[in-house]
Amino acid sequence: MRRKILGFSLMLLSSMCVYAQNSDANQDRRDLRQDQRDVRRDQRDINADRRDINRDRVERNSQLRDANRDQRDINHDRADINRDRAEYRQDVRNGDMKDAAKERRDIRADERDINRDRTDRNHDLRKAHAEQRDINHDRRDLRRDRVDRNKDRRDIRTDRRDLHRDKH
């Protein structure tokens, strides 16, 4: 009788161990699936951050091109002003006041153009800097998402190793 009880209790104990092992293995499988979902989610976030970065770069480059065009216009207007000043001085020396007045008007018009172009350039540069801030923010998010993804990948490797170890 004692031997029967002992055999039954050993059988019960071993079945409890098998159940516990199966339960642990099932939990490991669930953890593995969850980690795989997390990796896919993190990869989607990474791809979205990359798209945002590329979109912001295109916008920033467009703003910088506009600012460079405005700077080129400013430089051309400065050259026009210098040319008009030289003509103005020449007209004053020659006593041609009508042409000198025209040159003064041209100088003032070119100075207004410079101020307008400076305003446009500064506006474009501010927008380009805002885009650069967005790029930096998206890069930081990208780094964080990569860290999360790599952490989840490590968890997957650990879970697979545990599953393999529990099988044998």
Residues 37-91: pLDDT tens digits?
A: 988 888 898 898 889 889 988 998 999 999 999 999 999 999 999 999 999 999 9
Give whole-number Cα distances, 73 to 13, 110, 121, 167, in Å: 89, 10, 10, 74
Within a 10 A sphere around the Cβ of 117, how many other Cβ atoms? 19
pLDDT in tens, 118-159: 999 999 999 999 999 999 998 998 899 889 889 888 888 888
Average pLDDT over residues 86-111: 91
pLDDT at residue number 26: 81
Spell out the alpha helix ranges (H) of the chain: 2-94, 97-167
Separation of CA 99 from chain center: 56
**Integer Cα distance of 150 and 167 in angstroms:** 26
pLDDT at residue number 116: 92
Listing DSSP states for 93-107 in one string gives HHT-HHHHHHHHHHH
Which of 1-5, 21-25, 125-129, 149-153 tops mean pLDDT? Answer: 125-129
Q: Which of 158, 156, 152 is nearest to 44 (CA)?
A: 152
Answer whether residue 16 shows pLDDT above 70. no
pLDDT at residue number 3: 55
Reported pTM? 0.61
131 or 165: which leads in pLDDT: 131
**Integer Cα distance of 54 and 58 in angstroms:** 6
pLDDT at residue number 8: 54
